[in-house]
Amino acid sequence: MAENTKTEANPADFIEPLYINGLSGRMLYMPAKNSNKRQILVLYGHHATLERWWGLVQNFQDLGSVTMPDLPGFGGMDSFYKIGKDASLDNYADYMAAFIKMRYKRRKVTIIGISWGFLIATRMLQRYPELVSRVEFLVSASGFMRYDDFIFTKRRYKTYLLATRVAAIPPMPFIFRYVALNGPILRRAYARTNNAKHKFAQAGGKEEFDRMMDMEIMLWQKNDVRTWFRTTTEMLTADNCKSLINLPVWHVYTKNDHFFDNDIVEQHMRVVFSDFHPAQIKLKAHTVSVLADKKEAATLIPQALKSAIRKLNKS
């Protein structure tokens, strides 16, 4: 019997170097399966790498060519601190604006922002209104707008805010990285923390639990610790409701989001964007598992959203 030589696509086959504004990182580019000329830009969220969101990229390839760049300080990319800049939301917005101008020239683009990635996309469009007309379609995948979208109690919110501000001050990031984020400590304690409980509750058994833990350890150790704490502070203090954006937004969300109040997020999005299209999905936590393959990641692209994008292709 002939051996089956068919192999599954590997993210490494689509990753290339990225050099921009003095920073070195990586970019994943997956061309469309057909003659579709749509350009899709995916901005991943906090605590991420290109590989973590590979399953989602494979789904969007059905709708166009997909590009997903690293964010400074994430995925192994140089941090803003290397070039003497702060890891502020404004600097991330400037970075994405520069990337879009470099990558797409005058072409139009569909933007998919995942959580923190959507916060960056929104701030970018507010700081660079000339780019609004270049955006064909805007999607929030578990995104948010303001610090008060979080559902934390006041006490927990203040604790997180103080802790992230202090932990971002050198040499605290270095100490945290090599004490709290070493493998044995994470394996022993991480799954018991308040926010991680929701992630590991999705594990289907010990084998999957161990695979999730391996991925979480990789993510924690791959991303720049100072950047992680500084950007967490930015999320806890962000306010993207100060200026309007003349674009409709599709918001993909789950009622089981353990970070955000969906009703408040909707209110804030309706204030800023010209129209709002909610798309509820079934998830047990804020977003899909860190192990999500193409099938599981497809949950983030409900049929209504797919149809809307395809309809725009035909218009």
Measured CA to CA, the distance from residue 101 to residue 143 in angstroms comes to 23
Which tens digits make up the pLDDT trace of 103-151?
Answer: 999 899 999 999 999 999 999 999 999 999 999 999 999 999 999 999 9
Q: Which CATH class is domain 14-151+239-314?
A: alpha beta
Which tens digits make up the pLDDT trace of 262-278?
Answer: 999 999 999 999 999 99
Over residues 179-184, the mean pLDDT reads: 93
Measured CA to CA, the distance from residue 208 to residue 188 in angstroms comes to 16
Q: At 8, is the pLDDT very low, low, confident or very high (cuts 50, 70, 90)?
A: low
One-letter amino acid for residue 108 of the chain: K
The structure tokens listed for 55 are: 């399953």
Measured CA to CA, the distance from residue 315 to residue 310 in angstroms comes to 9
- Give SS3 for 300: helix
The structure tokens listed for 182 are: 């070493």
pLDDT at 314 over 80: no
Q: At 4, is the pLDDT very low, low, confident or very high (cuts 50, 70, 90)?
A: very low
Question: Nearest-5° angle of CA 170, CA 174, CA 179?
Answer: 135
User: What pTM did the predictor assign?
Assistant: 0.94
The structure tokens listed for 27 are: 């970019």
CA-nearest of 74, 64, 229, 31 to 139 is 64
What are the residues whose beta carbons fall under 8 Å from the beta carbon of 120, sequence distance 6 or more? 43, 71, 89, 92, 93, 96, 113
Which tens digits make up the pLDDT trace of 232-246?
Answer: 999 999 999 999 999
Which tens digits make up the pLDDT trace of 32-52?
Answer: 988 788 999 999 999 899 999
Q: At 284, is the pLDDT very low, low, confident or very high (cuts 50, 70, 90)?
A: confident
What residue ranges do the domains of the chain occupy?
A: 14-151+239-314
Residue 105 Ramachandran class (φ > 0 left, ψ -120 to 50 alpha, else beta): left
The structure tokens listed for 204 are: 């289907």
Average pLDDT, the chain: 93
